[in-house]
Structure 1
Amino acid sequence: MMNLPNLLTLFRIFIIPIFVLLALLDMQSTCFGVPVKNILLCALFALAGITDYFDGYLARKLNVSSPFGAFLDPVADKLIVAVALIIIAVDNPQSLIIVLCTIIIICREITISALREWMASLGRRNSVAVSWIGKWKTTFQMGAIGCLLFKSHFFGLPIFLIGEIGLIIAAALTLYSMVDYLILAYQSEKNHHKES
Protein backbone atom coordinates (compact mmCIF):
# COMPACT_ATOMS: atom_id res chain seq x y z
CA MET A 1 0.00 0.00 0.00
CA MET A 2 2.94 2.36 0.67
CA ASN A 3 4.14 2.60 -2.92
CA LEU A 4 5.67 5.73 -4.45
CA PRO A 5 2.40 7.22 -5.80
CA ASN A 6 0.71 6.84 -2.40
CA LEU A 7 3.73 8.37 -0.64
CA LEU A 8 3.49 11.38 -2.96
CA THR A 9 -0.19 11.69 -2.11
CA LEU A 10 0.55 11.49 1.62
CA PHE A 11 3.23 14.13 1.14
CA ARG A 12 0.51 16.57 0.02
CA ILE A 13 -1.35 15.96 3.26
CA PHE A 14 1.77 16.22 5.44
CA ILE A 15 2.77 19.62 4.01
CA ILE A 16 -0.57 21.19 5.00
CA PRO A 17 0.57 22.04 8.59
CA ILE A 18 3.80 23.53 7.15
CA PHE A 19 1.69 25.49 4.66
CA VAL A 20 -0.54 26.88 7.44
CA LEU A 21 2.42 27.69 9.71
CA LEU A 22 4.16 29.53 6.88
CA ALA A 23 1.00 31.55 6.20
CA LEU A 24 0.81 32.56 9.88
CA LEU A 25 4.46 33.63 10.12
CA ASP A 26 5.19 37.35 10.14
CA MET A 27 7.96 37.52 7.54
CA GLN A 28 8.98 40.95 6.28
CA SER A 29 11.85 39.97 3.97
CA THR A 30 11.51 40.39 0.20
CA CYS A 31 13.20 39.04 -2.91
CA PHE A 32 13.18 41.32 -5.99
CA GLY A 33 10.39 43.28 -4.32
CA VAL A 34 8.22 40.21 -3.72
CA PRO A 35 7.60 39.04 -0.11
CA VAL A 36 9.56 35.84 0.53
CA LYS A 37 6.53 34.39 2.33
CA ASN A 38 4.43 34.74 -0.83
CA ILE A 39 7.11 33.06 -2.93
CA LEU A 40 7.38 30.16 -0.48
CA LEU A 41 3.60 29.69 -0.24
CA CYS A 42 3.29 29.71 -4.03
CA ALA A 43 6.23 27.30 -4.41
CA LEU A 44 4.84 24.91 -1.80
CA PHE A 45 1.43 24.90 -3.47
CA ALA A 46 3.07 24.37 -6.87
CA LEU A 47 5.00 21.43 -5.41
CA ALA A 48 1.70 19.94 -4.21
CA GLY A 49 0.30 20.36 -7.72
CA ILE A 50 3.32 18.63 -9.26
CA THR A 51 3.03 15.66 -6.89
CA ASP A 52 -0.70 15.47 -7.75
CA TYR A 53 0.22 14.99 -11.41
CA PHE A 54 3.00 12.49 -10.76
CA ASP A 55 1.20 10.27 -8.27
CA GLY A 56 -1.50 9.49 -10.85
CA TYR A 57 1.02 9.18 -13.68
CA LEU A 58 3.29 6.83 -11.70
CA ALA A 59 0.38 4.73 -10.46
CA ARG A 60 -0.61 4.06 -14.07
CA LYS A 61 2.97 3.71 -15.35
CA LEU A 62 4.08 1.33 -12.59
CA ASN A 63 0.70 -0.44 -12.54
CA VAL A 64 0.34 0.03 -8.79
CA SER A 65 -3.11 1.62 -8.68
CA SER A 66 -4.97 0.68 -5.52
CA PRO A 67 -8.33 1.39 -3.84
CA PHE A 68 -6.42 3.17 -1.05
CA GLY A 69 -4.69 5.44 -3.56
CA ALA A 70 -7.95 6.09 -5.41
CA PHE A 71 -9.52 7.15 -2.11
CA LEU A 72 -6.57 9.17 -0.79
CA ASP A 73 -5.72 11.16 -3.93
CA PRO A 74 -8.91 13.26 -4.14
CA VAL A 75 -8.91 13.70 -0.36
CA ALA A 76 -5.38 15.16 -0.46
CA ASP A 77 -6.35 17.43 -3.37
CA LYS A 78 -9.45 18.76 -1.63
CA LEU A 79 -7.62 19.35 1.66
CA ILE A 80 -4.75 21.36 0.17
CA VAL A 81 -7.09 23.38 -2.05
CA ALA A 82 -9.53 24.12 0.81
CA VAL A 83 -6.71 25.17 3.15
CA ALA A 84 -5.11 27.39 0.48
CA LEU A 85 -8.45 29.05 -0.34
CA ILE A 86 -9.20 29.70 3.34
CA ILE A 87 -5.73 31.23 3.81
CA ILE A 88 -6.27 33.48 0.77
CA ALA A 89 -9.77 34.50 1.93
CA VAL A 90 -8.55 35.30 5.47
CA ASP A 91 -5.66 37.30 4.01
CA ASN A 92 -8.03 39.24 1.72
CA PRO A 93 -11.30 39.71 3.66
CA GLN A 94 -12.05 42.90 1.73
CA SER A 95 -12.34 40.96 -1.54
CA LEU A 96 -15.95 39.79 -1.84
CA ILE A 97 -15.03 37.92 -5.03
CA ILE A 98 -12.43 35.77 -3.27
CA VAL A 99 -14.65 35.07 -0.26
CA LEU A 100 -17.66 34.08 -2.42
CA CYS A 101 -15.57 31.93 -4.77
CA THR A 102 -13.97 30.21 -1.77
CA ILE A 103 -17.39 29.38 -0.32
CA ILE A 104 -18.68 28.13 -3.69
CA ILE A 105 -15.67 25.90 -4.37
CA ILE A 106 -15.48 24.37 -0.88
CA CYS A 107 -19.25 23.76 -0.73
CA ARG A 108 -19.14 22.13 -4.17
CA GLU A 109 -16.32 19.80 -3.13
CA ILE A 110 -18.25 18.69 -0.04
CA THR A 111 -21.42 18.15 -2.09
CA ILE A 112 -19.72 16.15 -4.85
CA SER A 113 -17.74 14.06 -2.35
CA ALA A 114 -20.97 13.15 -0.57
CA LEU A 115 -22.65 12.44 -3.92
CA ARG A 116 -19.84 10.14 -5.04
CA GLU A 117 -19.92 8.34 -1.69
CA TRP A 118 -23.66 7.82 -2.03
CA MET A 119 -23.37 6.59 -5.64
CA ALA A 120 -20.52 4.26 -4.62
CA SER A 121 -22.73 2.78 -1.89
CA LEU A 122 -25.26 2.01 -4.64
CA GLY A 123 -22.55 0.45 -6.82
CA ARG A 124 -22.76 3.22 -9.41
CA ARG A 125 -19.71 5.37 -8.65
CA ASN A 126 -18.80 5.62 -12.37
CA SER A 127 -22.07 7.50 -12.94
CA VAL A 128 -20.34 10.55 -11.44
CA ALA A 129 -16.83 10.10 -12.82
CA VAL A 130 -14.63 13.16 -13.39
CA SER A 131 -15.67 15.02 -16.56
CA TRP A 132 -13.69 17.36 -18.83
CA ILE A 133 -15.45 20.28 -17.10
CA GLY A 134 -14.08 19.13 -13.77
CA LYS A 135 -10.58 18.92 -15.23
CA TRP A 136 -10.79 22.47 -16.63
CA LYS A 137 -12.12 23.65 -13.28
CA THR A 138 -9.13 22.10 -11.53
CA THR A 139 -6.70 23.71 -14.01
CA PHE A 140 -8.12 27.22 -13.51
CA GLN A 141 -8.42 26.67 -9.78
CA MET A 142 -4.82 25.59 -9.26
CA GLY A 143 -3.46 28.41 -11.44
CA ALA A 144 -5.64 30.99 -9.70
CA ILE A 145 -4.62 29.84 -6.21
CA GLY A 146 -0.94 29.99 -7.17
CA CYS A 147 -1.37 33.56 -8.44
CA LEU A 148 -3.33 34.65 -5.37
CA LEU A 149 -0.70 33.20 -3.05
CA PHE A 150 2.08 34.95 -4.98
CA LYS A 151 -0.03 38.14 -4.83
CA SER A 152 2.59 40.65 -6.00
CA HIS A 153 3.14 42.15 -9.44
CA PHE A 154 5.80 40.31 -11.43
CA PHE A 155 7.56 41.98 -14.35
CA GLY A 156 4.61 44.35 -14.58
CA LEU A 157 2.02 41.55 -14.68
CA PRO A 158 -0.95 42.02 -12.30
CA ILE A 159 -0.62 38.53 -10.81
CA PHE A 160 -3.28 39.05 -8.13
CA LEU A 161 -5.83 40.30 -10.68
CA ILE A 162 -5.04 37.33 -12.93
CA GLY A 163 -5.63 35.09 -9.91
CA GLU A 164 -9.00 36.72 -9.18
CA ILE A 165 -10.15 36.29 -12.79
CA GLY A 166 -8.98 32.67 -12.77
CA LEU A 167 -10.81 32.03 -9.50
CA ILE A 168 -14.05 33.49 -10.92
CA ILE A 169 -13.76 31.16 -13.94
CA ALA A 170 -13.00 28.22 -11.62
CA ALA A 171 -16.03 29.04 -9.44
CA ALA A 172 -18.29 29.29 -12.52
CA LEU A 173 -17.02 25.93 -13.81
CA THR A 174 -17.44 24.56 -10.28
CA LEU A 175 -21.14 25.46 -10.24
CA TYR A 176 -21.64 24.13 -13.78
CA SER A 177 -19.90 20.83 -13.03
CA MET A 178 -21.85 20.43 -9.78
CA VAL A 179 -25.15 20.80 -11.63
CA ASP A 180 -23.84 18.39 -14.29
CA TYR A 181 -22.91 15.79 -11.65
CA LEU A 182 -26.28 16.16 -9.90
CA ILE A 183 -28.15 15.67 -13.19
CA LEU A 184 -26.06 12.57 -14.00
CA ALA A 185 -26.73 11.16 -10.54
CA TYR A 186 -30.46 11.85 -10.89
CA GLN A 187 -30.61 10.21 -14.32
CA SER A 188 -28.64 7.22 -13.04
CA GLU A 189 -31.01 6.81 -10.10
CA LYS A 190 -34.04 7.20 -12.39
CA ASN A 191 -32.71 4.56 -14.83
CA HIS A 192 -31.94 2.23 -11.94
CA HIS A 193 -35.55 2.42 -10.71
CA LYS A 194 -36.82 1.74 -14.24
CA GLU A 195 -34.60 -1.34 -14.51
CA SER A 196 -35.81 -2.53 -11.12
Structure 2
Amino acid sequence: MIRLIDFMAAFIGLLFLWPILFIITLIGLFDTGSPIFVQERMGRNKRPFKLIKFRTMSVETKSVASHLATNASITKLGSFLRKTKIDELPQLINVVRGEMSLVGPRPNLFNQEELIKERDAQGIYNVLPGITGLAQVQNIDMSTPELLAKVDKQMIESLTLKDYFNYILMTATGRGSGDAVK
Protein backbone atom coordinates (compact mmCIF):
# COMPACT_ATOMS: atom_id res chain seq x y z
CA MET A 1 0.00 0.00 0.00
CA ILE A 2 2.84 2.40 0.85
CA ARG A 3 4.38 1.84 -2.59
CA LEU A 4 1.09 2.84 -4.25
CA ILE A 5 0.85 5.96 -2.07
CA ASP A 6 4.51 6.77 -2.81
CA PHE A 7 4.00 6.41 -6.55
CA MET A 8 0.76 8.40 -6.69
CA ALA A 9 2.00 11.20 -4.43
CA ALA A 10 5.31 11.51 -6.28
CA PHE A 11 3.65 11.39 -9.70
CA ILE A 12 1.06 14.01 -8.74
CA GLY A 13 3.78 16.06 -7.06
CA LEU A 14 5.88 16.07 -10.22
CA LEU A 15 2.82 16.92 -12.29
CA PHE A 16 1.94 19.96 -10.20
CA LEU A 17 5.47 21.04 -9.23
CA TRP A 18 7.07 20.89 -12.69
CA PRO A 19 6.90 24.71 -13.11
CA ILE A 20 8.86 25.17 -9.86
CA LEU A 21 11.32 22.44 -10.87
CA PHE A 22 11.77 24.14 -14.24
CA ILE A 23 12.32 27.61 -12.74
CA ILE A 24 14.82 26.30 -10.16
CA THR A 25 16.65 24.49 -12.95
CA LEU A 26 16.91 27.73 -14.96
CA ILE A 27 18.07 29.74 -11.94
CA GLY A 28 20.52 26.97 -11.12
CA LEU A 29 22.09 27.29 -14.55
CA PHE A 30 23.13 30.82 -13.59
CA ASP A 31 24.16 29.80 -10.07
CA THR A 32 26.46 26.84 -10.78
CA GLY A 33 26.05 26.07 -14.48
CA SER A 34 24.96 22.58 -13.47
CA PRO A 35 21.67 22.75 -11.53
CA ILE A 36 20.99 19.02 -11.24
CA PHE A 37 23.10 16.91 -8.92
CA VAL A 38 23.19 13.15 -9.47
CA GLN A 39 25.07 10.95 -7.04
CA GLU A 40 25.33 7.21 -6.58
CA ARG A 41 23.78 6.15 -3.30
CA MET A 42 23.10 2.88 -1.54
CA GLY A 43 19.52 1.68 -1.88
CA ARG A 44 17.46 -1.27 -0.76
CA ASN A 45 19.56 -4.43 -0.37
CA LYS A 46 22.65 -2.20 -0.85
CA ARG A 47 21.93 -1.81 -4.56
CA PRO A 48 23.32 1.35 -6.10
CA PHE A 49 21.00 3.93 -7.59
CA LYS A 50 21.40 7.48 -8.88
CA LEU A 51 19.91 9.98 -6.41
CA ILE A 52 18.67 13.17 -8.11
CA LYS A 53 18.70 16.55 -6.32
CA PHE A 54 19.13 20.20 -7.09
CA ARG A 55 22.77 21.21 -6.71
CA THR A 56 23.32 23.24 -3.56
CA MET A 57 27.13 23.23 -3.50
CA SER A 58 29.69 24.41 -6.00
CA VAL A 59 30.55 21.98 -8.77
CA GLU A 60 34.10 21.53 -7.40
CA THR A 61 32.90 20.18 -4.03
CA LYS A 62 34.18 16.67 -3.27
CA SER A 63 31.63 13.86 -3.13
CA VAL A 64 31.36 13.45 0.62
CA ALA A 65 28.54 13.30 3.14
CA SER A 66 27.08 16.76 3.86
CA HIS A 67 28.44 16.84 7.41
CA LEU A 68 31.97 16.54 5.97
CA ALA A 69 31.53 19.45 3.55
CA THR A 70 32.03 23.08 4.53
CA ASN A 71 29.56 25.97 4.49
CA ALA A 72 31.84 27.72 2.00
CA SER A 73 30.83 25.08 -0.56
CA ILE A 74 27.14 26.06 -0.42
CA THR A 75 25.99 28.58 -3.02
CA LYS A 76 23.51 31.40 -2.29
CA LEU A 77 20.78 29.57 -4.19
CA GLY A 78 21.86 26.34 -2.51
CA SER A 79 21.37 27.87 0.93
CA PHE A 80 17.79 28.83 0.03
CA LEU A 81 17.10 25.41 -1.51
CA ARG A 82 18.38 23.64 1.61
CA LYS A 83 16.40 25.82 4.04
CA THR A 84 13.18 25.25 2.10
CA LYS A 85 14.06 21.62 1.28
CA ILE A 86 13.30 22.36 -2.38
CA ASP A 87 16.63 20.71 -3.23
CA GLU A 88 14.97 17.37 -2.40
CA LEU A 89 12.07 17.71 -4.88
CA PRO A 90 13.84 15.99 -7.83
CA GLN A 91 13.96 12.86 -5.66
CA LEU A 92 10.28 12.46 -6.52
CA ILE A 93 11.67 10.98 -9.76
CA ASN A 94 13.52 8.37 -7.67
CA VAL A 95 10.26 7.60 -5.86
CA VAL A 96 8.33 7.16 -9.13
CA ARG A 97 11.10 4.82 -10.36
CA GLY A 98 10.75 2.70 -7.21
CA GLU A 99 14.29 3.45 -5.99
CA MET A 100 13.09 5.43 -2.98
CA SER A 101 10.07 5.97 -0.77
CA LEU A 102 8.79 9.30 0.48
CA VAL A 103 9.52 8.05 4.02
CA GLY A 104 12.47 5.87 4.95
CA PRO A 105 16.11 6.01 6.03
CA ARG A 106 18.10 8.60 4.05
CA PRO A 107 20.32 6.85 1.49
CA ASN A 108 24.02 6.96 2.27
CA LEU A 109 27.11 7.07 0.11
CA PHE A 110 29.12 3.90 -0.48
CA ASN A 111 32.16 5.44 1.25
CA GLN A 112 30.38 5.93 4.61
CA GLU A 113 31.83 2.72 6.04
CA GLU A 114 30.96 3.28 9.70
CA LEU A 115 27.33 4.11 8.86
CA ILE A 116 27.07 1.09 6.55
CA LYS A 117 28.35 -1.17 9.36
CA GLU A 118 25.84 0.27 11.86
CA ARG A 119 22.96 0.07 9.39
CA ASP A 120 23.88 -3.49 8.42
CA ALA A 121 23.69 -4.51 12.06
CA GLN A 122 20.19 -2.99 12.31
CA GLY A 123 18.87 -4.42 9.00
CA ILE A 124 18.24 -0.96 7.55
CA TYR A 125 19.00 -2.01 3.98
CA ASN A 126 15.95 -4.28 3.88
CA VAL A 127 13.73 -1.28 3.08
CA LEU A 128 13.70 1.45 0.46
CA PRO A 129 15.56 4.60 1.45
CA GLY A 130 13.43 7.70 1.80
CA ILE A 131 13.34 11.43 1.24
CA THR A 132 12.49 12.01 4.90
CA GLY A 133 11.90 10.10 8.09
CA LEU A 134 12.08 10.10 11.86
CA ALA A 135 15.80 10.94 12.00
CA GLN A 136 15.35 13.93 9.70
CA VAL A 137 12.53 15.49 11.73
CA GLN A 138 14.57 14.91 14.91
CA ASN A 139 17.66 16.61 13.38
CA ILE A 140 19.76 13.43 13.51
CA ASP A 141 22.16 13.34 10.60
CA MET A 142 24.81 10.98 9.23
CA SER A 143 27.50 12.42 11.51
CA THR A 144 26.27 10.11 14.30
CA PRO A 145 26.14 6.69 12.56
CA GLU A 146 25.20 4.55 15.57
CA LEU A 147 22.38 6.86 16.69
CA LEU A 148 21.12 7.29 13.13
CA ALA A 149 20.98 3.52 12.55
CA LYS A 150 19.08 3.01 15.82
CA VAL A 151 16.55 5.74 15.01
CA ASP A 152 16.13 4.38 11.48
CA LYS A 153 15.45 0.92 12.94
CA GLN A 154 12.95 2.39 15.41
CA MET A 155 11.13 4.13 12.53
CA ILE A 156 11.06 1.00 10.36
CA GLU A 157 9.70 -1.19 13.16
CA SER A 158 6.99 1.23 14.28
CA LEU A 159 6.01 3.06 11.06
CA THR A 160 2.27 3.53 10.71
CA LEU A 161 0.35 5.28 7.95
CA LYS A 162 -0.23 8.17 10.37
CA ASP A 163 3.54 8.44 11.06
CA TYR A 164 4.24 8.28 7.32
CA PHE A 165 2.06 11.33 6.67
CA ASN A 166 3.27 13.11 9.82
CA TYR A 167 6.93 12.83 8.75
CA ILE A 168 6.07 14.24 5.33
CA LEU A 169 4.04 17.08 6.84
CA MET A 170 6.69 17.87 9.45
CA THR A 171 9.37 18.00 6.76
CA ALA A 172 7.27 20.16 4.43
CA THR A 173 6.56 22.63 7.24
CA GLY A 174 10.22 23.01 8.18
CA ARG A 175 10.79 20.59 11.05
CA GLY A 176 14.26 19.11 10.90
CA SER A 177 17.31 20.64 9.30
CA GLY A 178 18.56 17.71 7.24
CA ASP A 179 22.23 16.85 7.12
CA ALA A 180 24.36 19.46 8.83
CA VAL A 181 27.23 21.14 7.03
CA LYS A 182 30.33 22.39 8.91
| TM-score, structure 1 normalization | 0.30
| TM-score, structure 2 normalization | 0.31
Per residue, is there more helix in 1 or in 2?
Answer: 1
Per residue, is there more strand in 1 or in 2?
Answer: 2
Larger radius of gyration: 1
